[in-house]
Chain A
Amino acid sequence: MTNSNGTLSTAEKVNKSLQKRYRAEKRFRAYGISAIAFGLLCLVVLFTDIISKGHSAFFQTYVKLDITFDPTEMGVDDPTDANQLATADYDSLIRNALKEQFPEASGRRDRRALYAVVSNGAAFTLREQLKENPQLLNQTVPMWMLADDDIDTYVKHRDDAQGDTFAGRISEKQMGWVDTLIDNNQVESRFNTTFFTSGDSREPEQAGILGALVGSLLTLVVTILLSFPIGVAAAVYLEEYAPQNKFTDFIEVNINNLAAVPSIIFGLLGLAIFIGFFEMQRSLPLVGGLVLTLMTLPTIIISSRAAIKAVPPSVRDAALGLGASKMQMVLHHVLPLAMPGMLTGAIIGFAQALGETAPLLMIGMVAFVVDIPGAITDPATALPVQIFLWSDSPERAFVERTSAAIMVLLAFLISMNTLAIWLRRRLERRW
């Protein structure tokens, strides 16, 4: 419909532009959806890659051998002497069992190759067994023993099309022996408990993640205990008490800059201050926690300040108007209302700290630590550093363990975030 003078009425103009607006709206939404789809795709690729590489690390090959606990062979003349039993030669028992089953391995080299089928950690298993059941002495019993990592890799990938690509690490003869063992049902794949119960090791089949996990946990505890209270206190002071002047402006600029400083600089700082000046030991979760505290503080301060700023001024007025002191106002009203926001920021900081490698390298948490740390003053390494170390190892079995360690790190992160979100919900419900 047109007006008398032939131009479109306003309603018609609006209708016309409406079509255009709808299209723009659709396009706008499509951008958002494609952004999310891209993110999800990356996530799926990442997860499939890690899981497909790492899932096999959760299983470990075991070999069954008939072990004869022969005291003379072990060098034990008094079976009641616990000390003798502890230092006895269990390796020879395994060697004998292997020799018996595969008498064709005669040369020195062949023998060496044959003995390498079983992990050198298997002797410890035998010792533990005998300690628990002393009546095993002089008996012949079938025992399941940890296979060597190369054998493990071979067994896992024997049926793959690309199986022969890994064969380089083990000889034709070894393959033959393993195939015989498999045919005799002497090979079994079991859940890899070692991976979750032991610390690092040079031997992949004996290497576990627990040491790094505990190290990370201890480091994180130190970080949380220090950075959250300090960060919140700093934020409260800056927001509620500090006068607006050049000095506080200067502090603000510095905090914002610190948040953008590369983490390795904090590592250097920690090295200089905590290890250089205060002469603390290297590789300690305590020092790691201190360094990560320095690193996360700016993040926590900035997010806490934002959360405190977001508390409506009317609530402050209400509290002050009733005669609450400033501290009461902060403790009773501002902090509870700002807590969910502060937690959100803190979680981001802690998640960053958990995944941080570079500063920990600087303070020596990259050391090879076998023992599980029991305190923040025991040498330790951390999950991301462990991943870094394993990814650098030549053994094929460490490749899958690297991916498995990444999975453990991700699981740690996810459970930490879940906990934090749950906590935030609980706090929010108290309006």
Chain B
Amino acid sequence: MQVVNTPIQENEKLNAKSDKVAREKPKTDPINGSHANVGETVGKPFAKHPKMTMRNVDVFYGDKQAIYDVSLDIGKHEVVAMIGPSGCGKSTFLRCLNRMNDTIDICKVKGEIKLEELDVYHPKQDVVPLRARVGMVFQKPNPFPKSIYDNVAYGPRIHGLFERKTDLDEIVENSLRRASLWEEVKDRLHSPGTGLSGGQQQRLCIARTIAVSPEVILMDEPCSALDPIATAKIEELIAELSKKFTIAIVTHSMQQAARVSHRTAYFHMGKLVEVNDTKRVFTNPQHKLTEAYITGRFG
């Protein structure tokens, strides 16, 4: 795996202060600790060249709060992994970044989320151009019940990204190549996308997402429905994609987080407990909750 080091080293200085502040806080019993005891985020939530910045984000489902005061940056060309026990709010947080939460009536988001200078939750902000810039890959492969070609071509078509048919063909081929699916499907571009294997379908979904050339790709447990070989392929792909895209990935597999990400964010009961360079999180976690989680004491 290739790791682009620059953004991470630059983050170092920026995060040094918050690192210290957090460490000084007294901690109570980590496992049974209530929300109040989680305290502020420890580690390095900020990036020098942020692509997306989230500040004091609260998310509510009706009266129930699912995310508490989360601040985090995702740097340019950085891969940030989000881990945490089930129900801790990883998906909720991820879905804020391209406003997929808008589809849930009762979901309310507070705080500031920015894509570079663009205010994601500005009342006048249209979700269509936003989602063209921030793409998403879902947990379960969800190709459209259309041909492989039409699946990949759908995004460029609705956004009008091409002028001639040959341009579209090129976009489709390039996207499939980058998703390392081209060799497997080039002879059956017009057969249904739903007829592919699970791993191929997920790569098709990735190809479909990158066909729109987004700047950020959000992935919500993209490998949870796949076997180890397909998973390995997608992990390779993520490493490759990170050269061009900024990626936020939710995963339940700590090995996966360790393999693909530059930084890892640990969520616990709606709070962002710790963010740090991936290596550091897994070798030397600073928060007891993080430690408990990665050593498998709960989760």
Q: Which residues of A contact B (CB under 8 A)?
A: 243-244, 312, 314-325, 328, 332-333, 337, 431
Q: Shortest beta-carbon distance, B75 to chain A, in Å?
A: 23
B43 vs chain A, min Cβ distance (A)? 29
Judging by beta carbons under 8 Å apart, are B98 and A321 in contact?
yes
Can you list 29 contacts pairing A with B, beta carbon distance less than 8 Å? A315-B144, A317-B103, A317-B136, A317-B138, A317-B142, A318-B142, A318-B143, A318-B208, A319-B144, A319-B154, A320-B100, A320-B131, A321-B100, A321-B131, A321-B138, A322-B132, A322-B135, A322-B158, A323-B127, A323-B128, A323-B132, A323-B159, A323-B212, A324-B128, A324-B154, A328-B158, A332-B158, A337-B145, A431-B146
Q: How far is the CA of A320 from the CA of B143 in the complex (A)?
A: 13
Does B158 lie within 8 Å of A315, measured CB to CB?
Answer: no
CB distance from A311 to the nearest CB of B (A): 10
Alpha-carbon gap, A324 to B142, bound state (A)? 15
- Chain B residues positioned under 8 Å from A244 (CB to CB): 105
Is the Cβ of B155 less than 8 Å from the Cβ of A322?
yes
Interface residues in B, total, Cβ within 8 A? 29
Would you call the interface of chain B mostly helix, strand, loop, or mixed? Answer: helix
**Distance between Cα atoms of A51 and B38 in the complex (Å):** 82
Which one of A312, A316, A337 contacts B103 once the chains associate, using CB atoms below 8 Å? A316
- A322 and B209 form a contact (CB under 8 A): yes
Residues in B with CB closer than 8 Å to A431 are 145-146, 192, 194
Instruction: List chain A residues, Cβ under 8 A from B136.
Output: 317, 321
Quick one: which of B108-156 are within 8 Å of A by CB? Answer: 127-132, 135-136, 138, 140, 142-146, 154-155
Chain B neighbourhood of A318, CB < 8 A: 138, 142-144, 205, 208
Q: Which residues of A contact B100 (CB under 8 A)?
A: 317, 320-321
Residues of A within 8 A of B103 (CB): 316-317, 320
New contact pairs (16) apart from A315-B142, A320-B103, CB-CB < 8 Å: A312-B142, A314-B138, A315-B144, A317-B103, A317-B138, A318-B143, A318-B205, A321-B136, A322-B132, A323-B155, A323-B158, A332-B154, A333-B144, A337-B145, A431-B145, A431-B192
Bound: A106/B205 CA distance, A: 96
Q: Specify the chain A residue showing the minimal Cβ separation from B102.
A: A320
A314 with B145: in contact, given A244-B105, A321-B98, A321-B131 (CB under 8 Å)? no
Do A321 and B145 form a contact, CB below 8 Å, given A243-B105, A328-B158, A431-B194? no
In angstroms, how far is the closest chain B Cβ from the Cβ of A332? 8
Residue of A nearest to B131 (CB): A323
Closest to A337 in B: B145
How far apart sit A131 and B212, CA to CA, in the bound complex (Å)?
75
- A314 neighbours in B (Cβ, 8 Å): 138, 140, 142
Give bound CA distance, A322 to B154, whole Å: 8
B129, B131, B140, B192: the one within 8 Å of A322 (CB)? B131
Q: Give the nearest-CB partner of A317 in chain B.
A: B138
Residues of B within 8 A of A243 (CB): 105
Q: CA separation between A323 and B208, bound complex, in Å?
A: 12
**Residues on the A chain within 8 Å of B145, using CB:** 315, 337, 431
Give the residue name and chain of the A residue nearest to B214 (CB).
A323
Q: Which residues of B contact A337 (CB under 8 A)?
A: 145
A333 closest partner in B (C-beta): B144
Of residues 65 to 99 in B, which have CB atoms within 8 Å of A's CB atoms? 98
